[in-house]
Amino acid sequence: MKTPFTTVLVANRGEIALRVMRSARALGYRTVAVYSSADADSRHVREADLAVCIGGAAPRESYLNIPALIEAAQRTGADAVHPGYGFLAENPDFARACREAGLVFIGPSPEAMAAMGHKAGAKRRMAEAGVPCIPGYDGEDQSPERLCTEAARVGYPLMIKACAGGGGRGMRLVERADGFAAALASAQSEALNAFGDASVLLERAVLRPRHIEIQVLADRYGHAIHLGERDCSVQRRHQKIIEEAPSPAVSPELRERMGAVAVQAVQALGYEGVGTLEFLLEETHEGSHPVAAGPPQGDGAPSGGSDPAQRRSVGANFYFLEMNTRLQVEHPVTEAITGLDLVALQLQVAAGEPLPLSQADVRFQGHAIEVRLCAEDPAQGFVPQSGRVLRWRADERLRTESALQDGCDIPPWYDSMVAKLIAHGPNRESARRRLIAGLQDTVALGLPTNQSYLAACLQHPVWVAGEATTAFIGEHSEALLRDSQGDAEGQAAMGALALLECDSGQHHPLAARHPVRLRYRCNGALMEATATREGDGWRLQQHTAEGNAEYTVAVLGRAHGHWRLALDGVQRSVDWARSDSDPHTVWLQSLGDIWCVRDERLNAAQRASDSGDGQVRAAMNGRVVAVAVAVGQTVQRGDTVLTLEAMKMEHRHSANTSGVVCAVHVQTGDQVSAARVLVEIAPQTSAPTPPSP
């Protein structure tokens, strides 16, 4: 039976709302956007045919508000709803509410969602369908005693996973039996706070696996196909940051085997729409070359970079991890290598059309890589960032999915991912080079992002060789952070020049011939320098603990937000931006390096955050999800006092001194701004030492 529709409401925001609307419009559908009060000026609102405000900034007041979404559809005449990803995309109650309201839900049935949304139940369904699953325990008895007994049976190391979870929440790796009880309590608490369900399952830990997912597509008539695999092994805190297709670890034979299993699974489920089965790939090898060979890419070059004869796979075990009953963030890499529009296929299947292609029609061409640009500060433990984007320019060589624009705000209420950058080439190496170049030339100034960190990942020898597993970030974190810092000396010199060029004149006239003393922070590091006019430029003397370093710098050309300058005679281009509300801070970008320069000449030295004064301040804008202390309680320095949730991640805040809690200024559920005092601790005073007898 067909279910035609004319108007699609997109129950989401930002880049995915824009992405869905693009395909819907191409097929002739009218589009409706919904937005929270925080997103009133967003691009997805302006580019839709119709738009409706559905509530406040907090997701539970807007994007998670099912009645408000149904009402928005009815007010605008929408007869179909696309959930995007995140928020309610895998919520069976939302899919059921759409069906009851007479709306076509562009996705699987609520019954299929419910079956695959609970990890324990999903494992049982997949095992019945003949899908290999990781050995473990997924029973209903959730008593600590039973779980401890089952953990001993499964063996260590093992994983604890929230049954209702996703995104790494409620997930813990337990190395030994003596750490199980604490890890279980922590996982259950996090799962209860995040999902309202504390139940967990246990699985044997597959160490250093590949994270491989198979894209599937099925219609309501029982036809199903797969569109190959994606390698999503590069993850930080269980959040993917780099995805590629095809995987350098999957041979054509393994692809066929995994794809057949995935198709078998969705047919057994009676699944309709786009979906993804995620697997852990455990490779076995012989000889001294433990990396599986990838399939030929485009021009026949091997996907890795070493001799393909030395990269042959001699065996691989794969295990079902979970199923995502929605469109994936990383779907563009599959679109790039297949030439298909997955959103258009979703719309066609939801309208009751049969699949327009068979498995034999699917062709793979070249290699595609995607990176997730996130508003976060790698140098500060990847703390999520919110604020204003002063300048945004996407590189034309890449497919860029974003809702960014000059002057837009990144609110603290939602996911930290602000853009996806995708490169496609005839082989893996060409795609990698294009992505690095495009990433370095993408301009995103105004708040910290992981842009340089992503480039460092793509240039790391392990990733270049196609050998990255899920352990990649953990094993190479220090090197990746170091490599993402860029040219420190050049940044310091150009930072000084930025202050001189942007100076309003209150410190010195630009034509002055006398030396100018500078004191500034460059990416947080305090710098001091002396600048002296020399022709059309400046001679800079950088003062450091190791001595002085000298540079000559000059601006050769100026355009809006752009300089052409010479540093010690070598020319380069620099993009820059400064906020009217913060004239003492300048953002710069050149050759992939990004840095923030703050003039400290008029500012008193700031107190260090770990000064031990007893005031625990919010490290970011966020929502209080747990308060661990009460007034009168004694705490030790380093004890957790509360937990904030910001951009879908939880961040524990610790006591910066030992003492007694004298004030708690927040409660669970409060939204707080960065630097707000949350808890106050009266520091302990040392008791006098008794005299010696």
Same domain, 97 and 141: no
Spatial contact of 554 and 548, defined as CB atoms under 8 Å apart? no
- Residues 314, 312: Cα–Cα separation, whole Å: 6
CA distance 555 to 581: 25
CA distance 579 to 600: 16
**Residue 315 confidence (pLDDT):** 52
Indicate whether 273 and 396 sit together in one domain. yes
- Encode pLDDT of 456-467 as tens digits: 999 999 999 999
Task: Write out the E strands in 482-638.
Answer: 516-522, 525-534, 537-544, 547-559, 562-567, 570-579, 582-590, 593-599, 615-617, 622-627, 634-635
Q: Average pLDDT of 168-180?
A: 92
pLDDT (0 to 100) of residue 286: 44
pLDDT of residue 647: 61
Sole residue written with tokens 């994606």: 230
For residue 112, being part of any structural domain is answered with no
State which residues form the domain around 74. 7-106
Mean pLDDT of 611-615: 74
Q: At residue 174, what is the residue type?
A: V
CATH of the domain at 179: 3.30.1490.20
Q: Which of 114-128, 305-319, 622-636 has the lowest mean pLDDT?
A: 305-319
Q: How confident is the model at residue 525 (pLDDT cuts 50, 70, 90)?
A: confident
Least confident of 98-107, 171-180, 365-374, 674-683: 674-683
Do residues 470 and 592 both lie within one domain? no
Q: For the residues of 260-288, what is the DSSP string, one character each?
A: HHHHHHHHHHT--EEEEEEEEEEE---TT
Residue 240 sits in the same domain as residue 328 = yes
The whole-number average pLDDT for the span 648-676 is 85
User: Which residues face 160 on adjacent strands?
Assistant: 172, 202
Across residues 533-545, what is the average pLDDT?
87
Tell me how many domains the chain contains: 5
271's tokens = 């699944």
pLDDT at 505: 40
- H helices of 521-565, in order, are none
Mean pLDDT on 652-664: 91
In this structure, the answer to whether residues 146 and 71 fall within a common structural domain is no
What pLDDT shows up at residue 103?
Answer: 98
Mean of pLDDT values over 499-504:
74
pLDDT of residue 622: 81
Q: What is the pLDDT of residue 592?
A: 87
Quick one: CA dihedral 323, 325, 330, 333, positive or negative?
Answer: positive
- Does 285 score more than 60 pLDDT? no
689 domain residue, yes or no: no
Please choose, from the candidates 321, 323, 303, 322, the residue with its C-alpha nearest in 3D space to the C-alpha of residue 313: 303
In a domain, 125, yes or no: no
Quote the crossing angle between the two packed helices 14-26 and 342-350, to the nearest 10°: 70
Decide which of 511 and 70 is more confident. 70
Do 337 and 472 fall within a single domain? Answer: yes
Residue 198 sits in the same domain as residue 215: no
Over range 204-222, report the average pLDDT.
Answer: 95
pLDDT for the residue numbered 5: 98
Mean pLDDT (the chain) is: 88
Picking from 441, 456, 483, the residue at the C-terminal end of a domain is 483
Verify that 473 and 559 share a domain, yes or no: no
| Average pLDDT estimate for 157-179 | 89
CA distance 615 to 531: 39
pLDDT over threshold 80, residue 688: no
CATH code of the domain covering residue 573: 3.30.700.30
Q: What is the pLDDT of residues 288-302, one digit of tens each?
A: 333 333 333 333 333
Question: Is 353 in a helix, a strand, or coil?
Answer: coil
